Amino acid sequence: MNIGSGRMKRLLFAMGAACVVMVMGTAAFAVPPTEALRIETNQTFTGLCCFSLGETVSITEPKKLVPVVVTFSTDYRSSSDSLVELSVNDHPCMKLQGMQAAAPADGSFASATFEWTIFPGDGLTPGNNKIVLCGGLDTTGASLTLGFRTLAVRISK
């Protein structure tokens, strides 16, 4: 197949433009690294609710505040019922959710997913906002082990 030099240049230009569009499109949908946290190692907690579980995400709010949605998914083992909450910009923990005790004898993990909507009145401010996962147990001497888990925040639409 013989392609003239003019046609070849147009073809190469079109292919290059298509690649640029694909790269820019992918970048436009990428999640900023501060908005999603993924942890793949087990961590065990003890103590009564509520304290920081050490997992933090952040999001930049526009001048006109809008709600954000926070999602937490985890595999877990717990010797008693456990609680998970959120702290927004160092305010006290809020938006309580519960996890039932789950400690199968075979060592397997249960799984849970939680979703919260944080409204401007919950402590959001224009600019950077820090959201920390907090929680604990409802029984003294119990333990909670979090396995593979993700914490993510996004602007509500």
Q: Write out the chain's pLDDT in tens, 157 residues.
A: 555 555 545 544 444 444 443 433 333 446 677 899 899 999 999 999 999 999 999 999 999 999 999 999 999 999 999 999 999 999 999 988 899 999 888 989 999 999 999 999 999 999 999 999 999 998 889 999 999 999 999 998 7
Give the model confidence (pLDDT) of 54-83 as tens digits: 999 999 999 999 999 999 999 999 999 999
pTM metric for this prediction: 0.77
DSSP string spanning the chain?
A: ----HHHHHHHHHHHHHHHHHHHHHHHHHPPPGGGEEEE-S-EEEESBS-EEEEEEEEEEEPSS---EEEEEEEEEEESS-EEEEEEETTPPPEEEEEE--B--TT---EEEEEEEEE-GGGT--SEEEEEEEEEEESSTT-EEEEEEEEEEEEE--
